[in-house]
Amino acid sequence: MTPVLQLENLNKAYGALQVTKNLSLDVRPGEIHALIGPNGAGKTTLIGQISGALTSDSGRVLFAGRDVSRLSLPERARAGLGRTFQITQILPEFSALENVALAVQAHEGHSFRFFRNAATDPSLNDKAAAILADVGLGDRCTEPAGQLSHGEKRSLELALALALEPKLLLLDEPMAGTGPAETERLTELLKTVKNRCPLLLVEHDMAAVFELADRISVLVYGEIIATGTPDQIRASKEVQSAYLGEEDET
Amino acid sequence: MSFTLLAVQTLNGLQLGILLFLIAAGLTLVFGVMDFINLAHGVQYMLGAYLAVAAFQFTGGFWSALPLALLAALACGLLLEVLVFRRLYDRDHLDQVLATFGVIIFLNELVKVVWGAAPLSVPLPLYLDWSVPLTDTLSYPVYRIALIVAGLLVAVLLYGLVTRTRIGMLVRAGASDAEMVAALGVNIRRLFMLVFGFGAMLAGFAGILAAPIFSVEPGMGDNLLILAFVVIVIGGIGSIRGAFVSALIIGLVDTLGRSFATDIARLALPPSAANDVGPALASMLIYILMAVVLFVRPSGLFPVSSK
Amino acid sequence: MIPASITPKTSPLKASTLVPLILFLGLALVPVYAQVFDDRFMMLFATRIAVLAIAVVSLDFILGFAGLVSFGHAAFIGIGAYAIGILSEHDIWEAWISFPVALAAGGLFALITGAISMKTRGVYFIMITLAFGQMAYFTATSLSAYGGDDGLTMWGRTEFFGTNLFANDISFFYLVVGCLAASYLLLRIFTGSRFGRVLAGAKQSELRVEALGISPYRYRLVAYCISGMVAALAGALMANQAEFVSPSAMSWHRSGELIVMCLLGGLGSLHGALLGTIAYLALEEVLSGTTEHWRLIFGPLLVLVVLYGKGGLIGLVTRRPGK
């Protein structure tokens, strides 16, 4: 099976600081691939390089069979790369439904449509409402997104990404800042998302990672030091010394 | 286009640049540190000039009026800060624009009520009321040279203050990350007030220096305010060095442009067209410059680390 | 202040319906008042308000709704006005020619300056639009064939198939109010459309909108052009109202005033801009009638509106609990 996403020798430096080094990685259809690593390992930079928010100094990003290395963030999103952000990015003045309706509308093509009222457009609202129900926000449709709880905002962001019917979903620390109950709910939610598309999951919550991931890659100082199943990663001496040994500190 | 004319216009350009720098310095600090767009900064300049007139009438001499007017300008700045501006720091930029626009309208009218609408002036100060002969027919007022020197001294002082002292360090830190400075336990409110008062005093100083050579009239700060904004945007918001460099550039480009644009336009155009195009082009020059700078460097020439 | 809500079954008497309805009704009745009380000044004053309101509403569309603070909006008014003035100088008076030219000129200027300006953000955008506005202003002062600094006096008004639609006080007033209503409705429809959703979304979080696969740049540019054309329409009407065109119509003071009118009314709703224009001009008129130094009152009033009237005048009318 050809991978959905394949990274080939990606590099990114800020001045003298090499943040990602010759980094290669793949995500296969149907899997949840988790990316873990201590703070400062370059995870957020890597997410930026994959999603197009940052341009790589060298290397290639192959996505769904094409080279997207030179495409911008919106272009990669249109190609089917959905993402969520470490710091939640939603549209706070829009209702939850309007948020998702905008995503649905973006997925349908260009938005140079000036006359029809988008608020009363069932082709947008019905689909948006269905997706919101899928992520457990069915009863929060009319709530302004800015007033949702932190966990609900996380779910909303997931709904936004899902509305694009992505071929791959990049999740940048979806559990960050959520309480234990929310984390459990989001973990269950991500299990259902897995049926729709493969996921590349960057996460600090080890319990969630080991529960969800089919494969795990460990990123330390900009390099992948190991990739394998959760059991393999747990057993790896290299990983333990480089990363799991420090877990108490983080 | 003789060499002497070029020299005179260069001095005039430097003089405008220095005045612009004194106004822009406060503007860029207040904007950079406090994220506060103060349209009323131009009226501080006007107030400085009027206070110089008042102090001169009171003391009868420029040199005794200078410290008096300077203190009064500082007091006016602090008063405005306490009454109005400090309530605007946490508002968005547009609220600040509307409120400070209201302050401009008020103060422009107030000086009209107090001092009348007719232009006033202050005589040249003692010891500086003579001219340096340049050629047989042309001489340059020494006061204008003194103004440039005074401005340069302030620039050096300010640069030292910002780069070498603890206050300056806080100001620079505040320009790139105000929340961080607050988190370090600095009394941000007092720092803001200090920066604001200081900026107002500098603008007032510019007004005092301008009083003997320009006519003192209501609204005299409005156009300089726009120029000062051009200066800080080209220089990079929050950067004293940027404000200094771009103030001199703007002063020179504007002044030299106005004296020579028509001549230059004549090289390419028929005289009648050049007479039309020249002055317009001269007035436009700094705006063209700003548009080009922003197009090439969207955060100005000396960007302070991104927010 | 996002107009859209998912429930289509909204009551017809919402503030966002009621306020514009009252404002337009009030405007439409001015000629009746003027006839009854033989008050020609009121007619002319209302015409002046309606003309300027077209420009302020167009500014609110990009400033309040799309979040692009244009500090050179008066340039579009001036371009529309100069198009009419210059054509009249060449003896072209027919509305079917001059108005499309005015609108196209405004749109073209918006396209070129907008394409460059939108590479910048925040206060840099404000300043680069100011720069283009100033360039337009100084260009106008250099047009010595068309009056230069002193401006251009028109020897008549635009003609409409030989009728005196533009020349008669009342018919011109209704023409202006009609243009205002049409502009308002059109822009309001745009704000509720998919296009409007993109603009409002990009204002809240550009990053989020980009991650959805939308590049805001093109949408903003189109919005800027639409706004520029509507402002040019205001300018074309203004030239007819004053029968005079001058560079001062596009000075930065005027651009600043337009922003202040927007803010005074309240941002993003479009009728807030209308309310702001009426309030600003009426206040100016009333205060200047009472004392020579009316600005001593006017200035502090603006400050008080900011400090205590959050969301502008429209916010006072439609204040909702909880925010």
Q: Which pLDDT belongs to residue C321?
A: 44
Q: A177 and A147, same structural domain?
A: no
Q: Which residue has the higher pLDDT, C33 or B5?
A: C33
Q: A189 and A154, same structural domain?
A: no
CA B11/CA B252 separation, integer angstroms: 8
What average pLDDT does the segment C62-74 reach?
94
Q: Which residue has the higher pLDDT, A70 or C315?
A: A70
Determine whether the interchain pair C252/B288 forms a contact, defined as Cβ–Cβ distance below 8 Å.
no
Chain C neighbors (3+ CB pairs < 8 Å): A, B
Nearest chain A residue to C217 by CA: give it.
Answer: A74
ipTM of the complex: 0.90
Instruction: Evaluate whether C55 touches C70 at the Cβ level (below 8 Å).
Output: no
The pLDDT > 90 percentage for chain B reads 38
What average pLDDT does the segment A3-21 reach?
88
- Give bridge partners of residue A224 from the DSSP assignment: A219
Q: How far apart are the first and last CA of chain A?
A: 37
What average pLDDT does the segment A64-72 reach?
90
Is a pLDDT exceeding 70 seen at residue B3?
Answer: yes
| Number of structural domains in chain A | 2
Nearest chain C residue to A112 by CA: give it.
Answer: C195
Query: Which residues in chain C are contacts of A118 at CB distance < 8 A?
Result: 4, 192-194, 196-197
What SS3 class is residue A76?
A: helix
Query: Which residues in chain A are contacts of C2 at CB distance < 8 A?
Result: 93-94, 98
CATH, residue A23? 3.40.50.300
Nearest chain C residue to B83 by CA: give it.
Answer: C303
Domain boundaries, chain B: 21-296
Give which of B82, B23, B21 is closest to B48, Cα–Cα. Answer: B23
DSSP designation for A197:
S
Q: Buried b / exposed e across B191-227, counting CB within 10 Å, b at 16+? A: bbbbbbbbbbbbbbbbbbbbbbebebbbbbbbebbbb
pLDDT digits (tens, 9 = 90+) for B154-195: 999 988 888 888 888 877 777 667 677 777 777 777 888 888
Query: Which residues in chain C are contacts of A83 at CB distance < 8 A?
Result: 211
CA B89/CA B201 separation, integer angstroms: 19
Determine whether the interchain pair A119/C204 forms a contact, defined as Cβ–Cβ distance below 8 Å.
no
- Do A and B make contact via 3 or more CB pairs under 8 A? The reply is no
Q: A111 and A53, same structural domain?
A: no
Which of B82, B97, B246, B289 should one mutate to test binding to chain C, selecting the residue with the greatest count of C CBs within 10 A?
A: B97
Select from A135, A165, A195 the last residue of a domain. Answer: A165
Query: Residue B121 CA to chain centroid, in angstroms?
Result: 19
Q: A207 and A239, same structural domain?
A: yes
Average confidence score pLDDT of chain B: 87
For C:117-136, CB contacts with B below 8 A are: 119-124, 127-128, 130-132, 134-135
- Do C and A make contact via 3 or more CB pairs under 8 A? The reply is yes
The shortest CB-CB distance from B99 to any of C127, C295, C302 is to C302
Determine whether the interchain pair B99/C295 forms a contact, defined as Cβ–Cβ distance below 8 Å.
no
pLDDT digits (tens, 9 = 90+) for A207-244: 889 999 999 999 988 888 889 999 998 888 888 777 65
Please, what are the domains in chain C? 15-318 (1.10.3470)
Q: Which residue has the higher pLDDT, C320 or C33?
A: C33
Q: A135 and A14, same structural domain?
A: no
Q: A233 and A200, same structural domain?
A: yes
Comparing B48-52, B277-281, C82-86, C232-236, which segment has the lowest mean pLDDT?
A: B277-281
Q: Which pLDDT belongs to residue C25?
A: 93
CATH 1.10.3470 for domain B21-296, yes or no, is: yes
Is a pLDDT exceeding 50 seen at residue C6?
Answer: no
| C208 interfaces chain B, CB cutoff of 8 Å | no
Is a pLDDT exceeding 70 seen at residue C122?
Answer: yes
Q: A178 and A67, same structural domain?
A: yes
CA C73/CA C143 separation, integer angstroms: 20
What SS3 class is residue B102?
A: helix
The shortest CB-CB distance from A125 to any of C6, C196, C215 is to C6
Q: Which domain holds residue A149?
A: 89-165
The shortest CB-CB distance from C214 to any of A93, A98, A111 is to A111
Q: Which pLDDT belongs to residue B246?
A: 95
The shortest CB-CB distance from C4 to any of A106, A111, A119 is to A119
Select from A165, A189, A211 the last residue of a domain. Answer: A165
